[in-house]
Amino acid sequence: MRALAVGLDGKVYSGSCDATVRVWSGDDGTHLQTLVGHTGGVYALAVGKDGAIYSGSDDFTIRVWSGEDGTHLRTLVGHTSTVRSLAVGLDGKVYSGSRDSTVRVWSPDDGAHLQTLEGHAGDVCALAVSPDGNVFSGSFGGDIMVSSSNNGAHLHTLNAGILTSLAFGQNGVLYSGHYDRVVFVWR
């Protein structure tokens, strides 16, 4: 397994090297469904407020699935390498980070590519959206870029070492996980 996400309905989604997304009951762990369509391993998952499931793969695409029945809704194409991270913003916009060192912004309504954020020194392996809506993207190059969700403007950069994950706590504190098994807490 390479990726995990939990939906608002309590379903658990797991992405795998076998190019599938599996859907599990959050109540009892029962396997409910397998979503098939990627041609490469699934490395990133996110769930939108509307229940849509987003899966990023080393086939360079993001697939969008219905949270109700698992139907494939659309495929988002634009990255030139593995999609390593996904996040959904407060406004519903979808953010994807890739080994191509970019973050792409997608419309939740029709999947249109809205913008590309550049400037990372390495693979964009982690994404998180802050409670105030700013986008935090982290790379193996050791930088966490903070961008405005309104216009994509680069606000500032945090230097953090080789990064593996990002998450916001309920209190608005940013946590960053690192390759050297350290977790940083940012206020």
As assigned by CATH, the class of the 82-187 domain is mainly beta
pTM: predicted TM-score of the whole model, two decimal places: 0.95
Secondary structure, 3-state, 61-100: EEEEECCCCCCEEEEEECCCCCEEEEEECCCCCEEEEECC
pLDDT number for residue 79 = 98
Q: In this predicted structure, what is the pLDDT of residue 114?
A: 96
CA atoms within 13 A on the CB side of 186: 15
Using CA atoms, how far residue 156 sits from 8, 55, 81, 104, 114, in Å, is 31, 28, 25, 18, 21
pLDDT value of residue 181: 86
- Looking at residue 25, what is its pLDDT? 96
Cα(34)–Cα(20) distance, integer angstroms: 7
What are the domain boundaries of the chain?
Answer: 1-77, 82-187
Residue 122: per-residue pLDDT: 87
Residue 29 is given by DSSP the state -
Q: What pLDDT does 157 receive? A: 92
Whether 1-77 and 82-187 share one fold: the answer is no
The helices-and-strands tally (H runs, E runs) of the chain is 0, 19
Query: Going residue by residue through the chain (187 aa), what tens digit of pLDDT does each one get?
Result: 899 999 999 999 999 999 999 999 999 999 999 999 999 999 999 999 899 999 999 999 999 999 999 999 999 999 999 999 999 998 999 999 999 999 999 999 999 999 999 999 889 999 999 999 999 999 988 899 999 988 989 999 998 888 889 999 988 899 999 888 889 899 8
Characterize the bridge pairing of strands 3-6 and 12-15.
Answer: antiparallel
CATH of 1-77, one of 2.40.10.480, 1.10.620.20, 3.40.605.10, 3.40.920.10: 2.40.10.480
Which tokens sit at 105?
A: 């912004």
Q: Tell me, what's the pLDDT at 125?
A: 94
Segment 70-115, tens digit of pLDDT = 999 999 999 999 999 999 998 999 999 999 999 999 999 999 999 9
Contact 138, 125 (CB under 8 A): yes
